[in-house]
Structure 1
Amino acid sequence: MLTAIRSLAYLIAFYGLSVGFVLTALVAHWVVPSAVLPVATGWSRFHRGCARWLLGQKVRVEGDLPHGQYLYIVKHESMFETIDLLCLFDRPAIAAKRELLDIPLWGGLARDYGLLPVERSAGASALRALRAAARKANAQGRPICLFPEGTRVPHGEAPPLRAGFAGLYAVLGLPVVPIAVDSGRLSPRGHFLKRAGVITYKIGEVVPPGLDRKEAEARVHAAINALNWRSG
């Protein structure tokens, strides 16, 4: 019962008050487009606060998280890390499905922020667009973040990496920081109920640039799935 009450309170508070952030970002979009960045960061911090104080979800980072010009490869289990990455990094350029950029009004905000478009059904042309957007963001000094599985996966599952990782790894020439996350234990995809507990980010060993594709993928795959069988 407590979990249901907390989940309902979170739903009302987070989504209800997010409207204010969206309206503020829309004003910024038309007046000072660069101001969308700090508004988005504030929204992310608000989200973490709602998760902490309404759901009882704390965040723990295991290991040293390096900051700078890196390609961050992140396990994807729930909506939590999609928003929370803005708390972990300064102005991260995050790869997201292209459909988000086509939503009226929201799409303009996403473009102002600098989301990297991923069109999963477009094959080689989509990979070229992703590479070009990532190179531009990297030139601006922004960290690049990718969810290499392409979609949210249930906690414990370890699907193969999609081609986007290999493409960015080759073209950017950046060291890779793989990050495991176990958010799906507490906030599984498609479930209204969200449980209290600790969401852990586990920072893997940095993968240097220039490795053979199979070796780089194997190292990253193992590292982002390091929390798959942890129960608490």
Structure 2
Amino acid sequence: MDVVRSLLFYVTFYLGTIFFVIVTGLASFVNEELMRRTARGWSLYHRLCARWLLGIRVVVEGEMPGGGVLVAMKHESFYEAIDLPAQMRHPAPFPKAELTELPGWGWAARRYGAVVVERGEGARALRKMISSARGFAAKGRTLAIFPEGTRVPTGQRPPLQSGFAGVYKLLGLPVVPVAVNSGRLYHRRWKKPGTITVRVGERIEPGLPREEIEARVLAAINVLNV
């Protein structure tokens, strides 16, 4: 049944995604609010497909913050990445540069607004990221980053990417850590029914030393990692 459910999900969700990519792109030429609503619609459509085709529901414990903060979220699967617009009001994510080069989706993501992460570019790339992030924060958008840098299998606790501490220091914003346990259900191939929990941690003030902010965020995003 997991295979059948997953195949139905892939067909339904990705066909719908083509529609939403086109509509979101067109909406971006009308106004930002319409574009935001269509992007959120895509995220809610994904949640609906996961609920009724895969048997996966999501429970959020705590309240997601508004603008003016950096949300640092555990990354175990694509679920939490796609679900961001459904959880927050017009978040500004930090996608890898290669994702923004995907046909259709990359164009729509750039129009929506994202802080593109260009790995291997050193200080120049970091300055560009910070400038972009500050611009989004000034507009009241919540910045959402996956500090581990990539998807991490359930049960593993790798150190955070070194760039996270730099982003935290240069932005001077409080951090809200968010734990997620999606990896045990939302596998890359055949997905399983169940409940995904998203737990919002306590806000962490800006200005902490690198070792302390990394330790606190790492502990908070892994509280569901059992």
TM-score (norm 2): 0.94
Q: Is the 8 A contact 1:36 1:109 kept in 2?
A: no
Aligned counterparts, 1:189-204, within 5 A: 191-204=188-201
Aligned counterparts, 1:29-178, within 5 A: 29=28, 31-32=29-30, 34=32, 35-178=34-177
Partner SS for 1:5:
helix
Q: Is the 8 A contact 2:100 2:106 kept in 1?
A: yes
Cα distance change, pair 33–112 in 1 and its aligned pair in 2 (3 A)? farther
Partner SS for 1:174:
coil
Partner SS for 2:110:
helix
C-alpha separation in 1, matches of 2:101 and 2:18: 19
Q: Is the 8 A contact 2:67 2:143 kept in 1?
A: no
Deviates more, 1:95-104 or 1:54-63: 95-104
* Root mean square deviation of aligned Cα: 1.5
Please name the residue that 1:219 is paired with. 216
Name the amino acid aligned to 2:110. R
Shift of 1:52: 0.7
C-alpha separation in 2, matches of 1:38 and 1:65: 18
Deviates more, 1:107-116 or 1:196-205: 107-116
Name the amino acid aligned to 2:213. A
C-alpha separation in 2, matches of 1:132 and 1:155: 33
C-alpha separation in 2, matches of 1:54 and 1:146: 28
Partner SS for 2:72:
strand
Aligned length: 225
Shift of 1:108: 2.7
Cα distance change, pair 105–4 in 1 and its aligned pair in 2 (3 A)? closer
C-alpha separation in 2, matches of 1:113 and 1:83: 14
Partner SS for 2:95:
strand
Please name the residue that 1:187 is paired with. 186
Q: Is the 8 A contact 1:134 1:168 kept in 2?
A: no
Name the amino acid aligned to 1:112. R
Q: Is the 8 A contact 1:63 1:203 kept in 2?
A: yes
Gaps of 5+ in 2: none
TM-score (norm 1): 0.92
Cα distance change, pair 64–106 in 1 and its aligned pair in 2 (3 A)? closer
Shift of 1:104: 4.2
Shift of 1:33: 5.4
CA deviations over 1:113-133 (Å, ceiling 9, x no partner): 111100122222221111111
Gaps of 5+ in 1: none
Q: Is the 8 A contact 2:67 2:137 kept in 1?
A: no
Shift of 1:24: 1.2
Q: Is the 8 A contact 1:131 1:167 kept in 2?
A: no
Q: Is the 8 A contact 1:78 1:152 kept in 2?
A: yes
